[in-house]
Structures are given as C-alpha cells and as structure tokens.
Amino acid sequence: MTGLAVLDVFISLVFIYLLYSLLAMTVIESITTAVSSRSKNLITGIDRLLSDDQLSNWINHTVLNLFWVKTTNPLTKAFYSHPSIKYLGQKGINSKPSYIAKDRFGSTLIDLLKKGAYLDDVENISATLGIIPEYDSSILAKRIRNHEEKLKLLTQTASADAADIGHATEELDYLKQELFQRTNKENPWDIEGLSIGAETKYQLKTLWQQAANDKEKFKALIENWYEDQMDRIAGWYKRKLTFLTFVIGLFIAAIFNVDSISLTTELVKNEDMRTMLVESAKGYMAENPDGGGTTTFKAQKQYIDSLNLELDKYNYVLGANKNVDYNFWTFLGWLITAFAVSLGAPFWFDLFNKLMQVRNSIKTPTSSAPAASGGSTEGVNIKAVG
C-alpha cells in the first residue's frame, strides 16, 4: 500500500467513528437530560463536602449516580430544603438545580449554621460548630418564673409602690420577649435535629477560626472551598459520562455491527470503498463545519443509513447480517469501536481535520484511476446532514 492509501484508511475509520460518536452523544444527551444527571452529580459533590464518610453513599460515586442519587446526611438535606436552593430547580421529579453559584452556596450554608438561641450570629455559628456551648434557654425561663413570683408577691403587698410594680412588669415583659426571640423559629423549613458530622464540623470550625469570627471572611473561605470542589465534581461527571459512552458505544457497535477489525481489513483491500468514504467525509465536513454536533438523532440515523446503502455497493454491510459469522474477533471489533466512540465526537472531528490537512499537502498522482474492484464510485457525494 502507498502512504496515501494508508492515510485514506485512517481517514475512513475516523469518519465512521465520528458518525457513530455523534449518534452516541445524541443518545446520551437525551438520557442525561431526561433524568437530570448533572443535578444528581452536583448533589453527590455537595454531599461529599457536607457529610462524613459513613453518611456518604458509595453508589453516588459510580456511574449509577447519573440516574439515581441518595443522601442520608441531615446537613445536605437541610441545605437542599433551604428556600434559596429549593426554588432554583424546576418543579417536578427532577426538582434539584444542576448548578449552584458559590455565593449562594456560601450564604445558604452560613444561614444554616447561624440558627440557634443566641441573639448574635457569631455566637450561634460558634455554638453550632462546638466552639462554645449551646445556649441554655432553661436558665432564662427560670429567671422569668422567679420574676413572675416576685411580681405576684409585690402586687399582693399593700404598701407596694406603683413604680416598683411597673418596673417589675416591664422587666418581666423584656425577659419574655428575649425568650421568644431566642426560641422562635424564623425559618419556614424544618431543621429540627440538624446535625453535622465530626469531620465536617472540624473542617468548618477550621475555616471559622481562620476567618477570626468574621462572617464575610468565613463566607469567602467557604466559597473557595466549594469552588475547589466544583472542579472535582466536573471531573467526576466527565469520567461517569465516559464510561456510559463506552457502554452506549458497545451497544451501538453491536446493533449496527460496526466491527473495527472487519472494517479495517475491508478498507485495506477495497480502494473504491476507501475513495467513496473519503469523498463522503469531505462532503459531510463541508456542510457540517462544526462536526455535525447540532443535528438530531433522526438526521444522524438517516445519514448513516444512506452511507450503509453506498457501502452495500462494495459488498460491505454495517448492520445486522445473517451472513456474517459472529465470533470472538467480531466482539473484539465491537469493543474497539466502543472504545473509539467513548473518546467523543470532538476528538474525532479534530483528528479528521488534521488528517485532511496532511492529505491535502500530499500531491496526488495524475495517473488514470484504477478499475473498480467492488462496485461503481457513482454517487459518492452523499448528501450531508445539516
């Protein structure tokens, strides 16, 4: 084989991989959108931040997380029940948001931490994080009962001064108002029994101490902590999608019988088939300069079917064929195709452009075209999807 023939084999394979990668990408996008996979992956990331290991479900860190998520951590549940987070998502089954800004994450978490019986937010945060003891409202309640008894005795004394009674009444009202402010729940969501894991509390306590009890500095540190986690969340999602793409790619390879080994063998032998695929690839890219990523599943399927009709002229069929002897090498060919599909359409589109630049830089011989080996080259310019 000449160098140009080898290059055409590569271009033909890359073109096939690009088409089926686009098909897989469309299928996966439809699935992940329907089940709100991004929001489930975000829940896993936030739950990993806010819960200790024993409360973090291991299933959430597998590919199953794209379809289902489970959290038992009270802090994570309270976070997603908070109105500033709850109403970010649409109403329905997939009600959780797929994106939460770092500013909203920080302000929401601080709002949860500052809930308590102290009148000062700083003291409440310190108490929640275990730096100072929780406020004991029973002490204040006891003071109120003592003042009530004192006022009762005062009013029963014949020589009691009206000013003393008024002063005692005013002080009692003030104490009752203070107790009401300390115990009254202003939040409309239920956070009774809210608890923070020991490891998570230690991390938050460290950030609080670094902020020197300054809420704004504390919020900034929480935002940086969250933003750093977001980079990892994106990586988790990408790895899960890659595995799912491989599974979908294997399914597509089996359904369409895209056997990379058989296809490569045929391309090496059949020059007319190579020529047809290279010319089809040129036409496809001319009408889809972005790689065809915006086309629909139906349009992609129609284009692949039209390409298969052309391949049939060269006695090669992509798809279920009763005349094909399926064996170990067929399954291995499917696996190779699945791996290729898992690399993604952008990878193959970029590689195709580079290969075409190399091919265009090679001077094509001007000798007459060889005789057809497997069929006519008529109609090689299949209408591209657009």
348: phi > 0 → left, psi -120 to 50 → alpha, else beta; which? alpha
Q: Name the band, by pLDDT with cuts 50, 70 and 90, for residue 326.
A: confident
pLDDT above 50 for 95:
yes
pLDDT above 70 for 25:
yes
Give the tokens for residue 179: 């107790």
179, 183, 188, 189 alpha-carbon torsion, rounded to 10°? 180
Average pLDDT of span 165-183 = 74
pLDDT above 90 for 317:
no
> For position 380, what pLDDT does the model report?
42
> For position 368, what pLDDT does the model report?
47
> For position 180, what pLDDT does the model report?
73
pLDDT, tens digit, for every residue of 338-365? 999 999 999 999 999 899 888 888 755 5
Average pLDDT of span 50-54 = 86
pLDDT above 70 for 31:
yes
For the chain, what is the mean pLDDT? 82
pTM of the shown model? 0.73
Domain residue limits, the chain: 3-32+245-361, 33-132+189-242, 137-183
**322-330 contacts, C-beta under 8 A, 24 or more apart:** 324/257, 329/259, 329/261, 329/262, 330/257, 330/259, 330/261, 330/262
More confident residue, 121 or 216: 216
Distance CA 146, CA 377 (A): 103
pLDDT above 90 for 167:
no
Q: Name the band, by pLDDT with cuts 50, 70 and 90, for residue 320.
A: low
CA 352 to each of CA 45, 176, 208, 267, 337: distance values in angstroms, whole numbers, following the listed order: 36, 77, 53, 17, 16
pLDDT above 60 for 221:
yes
pLDDT above 70 for 141:
yes
Angle between helices 3-34 and 271-287 (to 10 degrees): 50
pLDDT, tens digit, for every residue of 232-262? 899 999 999 999 999 999 999 998 889 999 9
Distance CA 374, CA 274 (A): 11
- Which residue in 352, 377, 384, 361 sits closest to 12, CA to CA? 352
Q: Which residues contact 73 (CB under 8 A, 6 or more apart)?
A: 47, 50, 51, 55, 56, 197
Task: Answer whether 19's CB lies under 8 Å from 307's CB.
Answer: yes
